[in-house]
Amino acid sequence: MDRLFEDRGFGMKIGYGEKPALVVIDLVQGFTNPELPLGADLTPQLAETRRLLAAARSAGIPVYYTTVAYEEGDLRDAGIWAKKMAGLMTLREGMPEVEVDPSLGPLPEEPVIAKKYASSFFGTDLLSRLNSLRVDTLLIAGCTTSGCVRATAVDALQNGFRPMVVREAVGDRSQAAHDQSLFDLNAKYADVVGVEDALGYLSGISAGRVAPGV
Q: How many residues does the chain have?
A: 214
pLDDT for 214 equals: 36
Is residue 31 included in any domain, yes or no? yes
| Enclosing domain of residue 186 | 3-8+19-204
pLDDT for 212 equals: 45
Q: List all residues 6 or more positions away from 106 whose beta carbon is below 8 Å from its beta carbon.
A: 65, 100, 112
What is the Cα–Cα distance from 49 to 42, expressed in whole angstroms?
Answer: 10
Give me the number of domains the chain comprises: 1
Hey, which residues does 191 pair with through a beta bridge?
A: 164
Is residue 149 included in any domain, yes or no? yes
Q: Which pLDDT tens digits describe the chain residue by residue (214 residues)?
A: 677 677 676 778 999 999 999 999 999 999 999 999 999 999 999 999 999 999 999 999 999 999 999 999 889 999 999 999 988 999 999 999 999 999 999 999 999 999 999 999 999 999 999 999 999 999 999 999 999 999 999 999 999 999 999 999 999 999 999 999 999 999 999 999 999 999 999 999 876 666 544 3
Is residue 107 included in any domain, yes or no? yes
Is residue 90 included in any domain, yes or no? yes
Kindly report whether the peptide bond that precedes residue 67 is cis, defined as omega within 30 degrees of 0: no
The CATH number of whichever domain residue 88 belongs to comes to 3.40.50.850
Q: Which of 42, 148, 154, 164 is catalytic?
A: 148
Contact indicator for 39, 30 with CB cutoff of 8 Å: yes
Hey, which residues does 137 pair with through a beta bridge?
A: 20, 162
Is residue 214 included in any domain, yes or no? no
Give the phi and the psi of residue 202 in degrees, each rounded to 5: -65, -35
Is residue 100 included in any domain, yes or no? yes
pLDDT for 193 equals: 98
Is residue 213 included in any domain, yes or no? no
148 belongs to the catalytic site: yes
Is residue 212 included in any domain, yes or no? no
